[in-house]
Amino acid sequence: MVRVSQLLHPQREAVAPRPAATILLLRDGDQGLEVLMTRRSASASFAPGAYVFPGGVIDAADAGSHALASRRPAQDGERLTQAIAAIRESFEELGVLFARHADGRWADAGDIAALQRHAPFAAQCRDRGLTLAAEEVFVLAHWITDRDLPRRFDVPFLVARMPGGQSPVADEAEQFEPVWVRPAEALARHEAGSFFMIFPTIRTLERLARFERVDAVLQACGEQPLWTSCPRAGLLKGAEARYMEHEMPFGELALVSPDGQMVHHLDWRSDQPVALLKNLMRLTAPNPGPMTGPGTNSYLVGDPTSGYIAIDPGPSDPEHIERLWRAAHGDIRLIVCTHSHPDHSPGARPLQARCATRPPILGLASRPTARAASEFAPDRELADGETITVEGAGGRHTLRAIHTPGHAANHLCLVLEEDGLLFSGDHVLNGSTTVVDPPDGDMSAYLESLDKLTQACAQHGIEFILPAHGYVLGFAPQAIAQLKAHRLKREARVIAAMQARPDGSMEDWVALAYDDVPQRMWPLAQRSLLAHVQRIEALGLV
Tell me the longest C-alpha to C-alpha distance in the chain: 89
Which residues, including other chains, have CB under 8 Å from residue 295's CB and lie 6 or more apart? 268, 270, 284, 285, 286, 287, 288, 314, 469
Q: Does CATH place domain 268-487 in 3.60.15.10?
A: yes
Instruction: Name the phi and psi angles at 343, rounded to 5.
Output: -95, 10
Q: Which residues have C-beta within 8 Å of that of residue 67, sequence separation ≥ 6?
A: none
Residue 8 class from Cβ within 10 Å (0-12 exposed, 13-18 middle, 19+ buried)?
Answer: middle
For CATH 3.90.79.10, the residue range(s) in the chain are 18-230
- pLDDT tens, residue by residue, 249-291: 999 999 999 999 999 999 999 999 999 999 999 999 999 998 8
The answer on pLDDT for 7 being more than 90 is: yes
Residue 42, pLDDT score = 83
CATH 3.60.15.10 range(s) for the chain read: 268-487
As a whole number of angstroms, the distance between CA 273 and CA 437 comes to 31
Under the banding of pLDDT at 50, 70 and 90, the label for residue 44 is confident
Q: What is the pLDDT of residues 407-437, one digit of tens each?
A: 999 999 999 999 999 999 999 999 889 999 9
| 3-class secondary structure per residue, 456-477 | HHHHHCCCEEEECCCCCECCHH
At the topology level of CATH, where does 18-230 sit? Nucleoside Triphosphate Pyrophosphohydrolase (3.90.79)
* Inter-axis angle of helices 522-539 and 506-513, nearest 10: 100
pLDDT value at position 400?
98
Is residue 114 within 8 A of residue 101, CB to CB? The reply is no
pLDDT exceeds cutoff 80 at 309: yes
H-helix or E-strand containing 530?
helix 522-539
Q: Which residues are known catalytic residues?
A: 343
- The secondary element (H helix, E strand) that includes residue 79 is helix 77-94
Please give the Cα distance from 370 to 344 (Å, whole number). 14
Tell me if the pTM is above 0.85. yes
pLDDT per residue over 132-168, tens digit each?
999 999 999 999 999 988 899 999 999 999 999 999 9
**Residue 74 pLDDT > 90:** yes
**Amino acid (1-letter code) at residue 369:** T
